[in-house]
Amino acid sequence: MHTAKGSFVVALQPLGFDGADPAWLLGRMSIDKQISGDLEATTKGQMLSAMTATKGSAGYVAIERVSGTLHGKRGTFVLQHSSTMRRGVPAQSIIVVHDSGTDELVGLEGEFRIDAANGKHSYEFSYRLTDG
């Protein structure tokens, strides 16, 4: 396993959620990231979220396509997010979609961890490149 570390800036923009009543507390957003560090990349994606009446409890799922270089290897891949927050305690699962790597990132597998503190985002990406 290899580890990539760095930071990123994210822009989230609200999108329409067809058929959803505002009382349901469901949302949809676009995701645009600029990632720096061992992974130099941009991303495009979408997120679906669910808030609750309990402060600090929510969940989201997302898909985003990452394009750039990982430790000097160029290509693209897709990250799949499935994360929850239980009264302020996060549980996240962000993994590379199998067989989504292209170019020099064919065979990429891994888990992406996000840390958000004091309004800044950092990441730790544990990954490996297999024979595909």
What's the pLDDT at 132? 57
**Domain CATH for 48:** 2.40.350.10
Domain boundaries, position 107: 2-129
Residue 106's pLDDT is what?
97
Secondary structure in 3-state letters for the chain: CEEEEEEEEEEEEEECCCCCCHHHCEEEEEEEEEEEECEEEEEEEEEEEEECCCCCCEEEEEEEEEEEEECCEEEEEEEEEEEEEECCEEEEEEEECCCCCCHHHCCEEEEEEEEEECCEEEEEEEEEECCC
Tens digit of each residue's pLDDT (9 = 90 or more) over 72-112? 999 999 999 999 999 989 899 999 999 999 999 999 999 99
pLDDT-derived band at 131, boundaries 50, 70, 90:
confident
Q: How many domains does the chain have?
A: 1
pLDDT in tens, 31-67: 999 999 999 999 999 999 999 999 999 999 999 999 9
